[in-house]
Amino acid sequence: MEYFLTSEFWWNILWGGVVALCWLGAIFVFFKITPALLDGMGCGGLIVAVLVVFPLPLNVGMHVANKIILYPRLWEENRGPVIIIAKEAPLLHNYFLALGRSLSRTKDQIQKLNTERSNSTTTEARKVYETQIAQQENRKQELENMKRRIEGLAQRLYFSKYLARLGHLSADANIDQELREVQGACAQLIRGE
């Protein structure tokens, strides 16, 4: 149920609307140009109409399907104790999800750079690729460290809220301040892409 309250869900709704509009537009255009092409070219006109009208909505649909499939997968991976962050600090939770997406992009970038380095023939080019790979590895390490820090904070927050519900004093009095600090550090890390 929490997934319906996230920005990812609403982005998926928006992307679905874009796909629906593309397909409706393609069908409308198809039925508008097909009679003219059939009169002029016969059955070849029908093939031309299909080849002209439908590649754009198919391309948009594939792009959107990739995004719609990615977000719930990220959501499922990040449900654990981090879900309490979604309730207590929604902006930090959105940063946590953005960290996951950035980490995925960074890993892809490292893989591409490794492939380009192995295909390069000169030692100078290899050194440039090795420098870029080292920078991306550092970025990956920063992202992973921040993710672990948020996960640890989420566990502490969950335990603190659990004790508070049982009527005990909070186990961690400075957790709100640390939430703000981590949120600021996350914002800087995400903007530093």
User: Which of 7-16, 42-51, 73-82, 124-133 is predicted with the least confidence, judged by mean pLDDT?
Assistant: 73-82
pLDDT at 72 over 70: no
**Short-list 192, 190, 193, CA closest to 94:** 190
For residues 60-88, give the mean pLDDT: 64
Per-residue confidence (pLDDT) for residue 70, from 0 to 100: 56
- Asked if 116 and 129 count as a contact pair (C-beta separation under 8 A), the reply is yes
pLDDT-based confidence at residue 159 (cuts at 50, 70, 90):
confident
Alpha carbons within 13 angstroms on the beta-carbon side of residue 151 total 13
Distances (CA, A) of 135 to 1, 59, 112, 120: 39, 33, 14, 19
**Short-list 2, 147, 12, 149, CA closest to 76:** 2
pLDDT-based confidence at residue 135 (cuts at 50, 70, 90):
very high
Q: How far apart are CA 129 and CA 112, in angstroms?
A: 10
pTM passes above 0.85: no
pLDDT-based confidence at residue 49 (cuts at 50, 70, 90):
low
Distances (CA, A) of 109 to 37, 50, 136: 45, 36, 8
